[in-house]
Amino acid sequence: EIMMTQSPATLSVSPGERATLSCRASQSVNTRLAWYQQKPGQAPRLLIYETSTRATGIPARFSGSGSGSGTEFTLTISSLQSEDFAVYYCQQYHIWPLPFGGGTKVEIK
């Protein structure tokens, strides 16, 4: 089973600053990596899929990238807005089963 590890667990950022979140897979998932945003009391929302493609309606300040190895991925929020403070999860959809990472909470500094 592929293990997904996210870091850091918590990221403290001031509004307007850049946030960089990491996700590592225990083996290659090719480009099949998605990111989800979850706010308190809400269901998760798809942000990024196929490593770097933004979902419909997602602002351009959100971007995803991968190292090319299929194991290291990054979500970048270029200039944090108040509505971006939330928990972010990565998930691979390359090989069954399909675990999520443990999440990164982005909080106001």
Q: What is the contact surface with other proteins in residues (CB under 8 A)?
A: 1, 30-32, 34, 36, 38, 43-46, 49-50, 53, 55, 87, 89, 91, 93-94, 96-103
Do 77 and 86 touch, CB atoms closer than 8 A?
no
Give me the least distance between CB of 45 and other proteins, in Å please: 8
Give me the least distance between CB of 43 and other proteins, in Å please: 4
Q: Give the three-state DSSP class for 46.
A: strand
**Rounded CA separation 98/64 (Å):** 19
Residue among 44 and 76 whose Cβ is closer to other proteins:
44
Q: Give the three-state DSSP class for 107.
A: strand
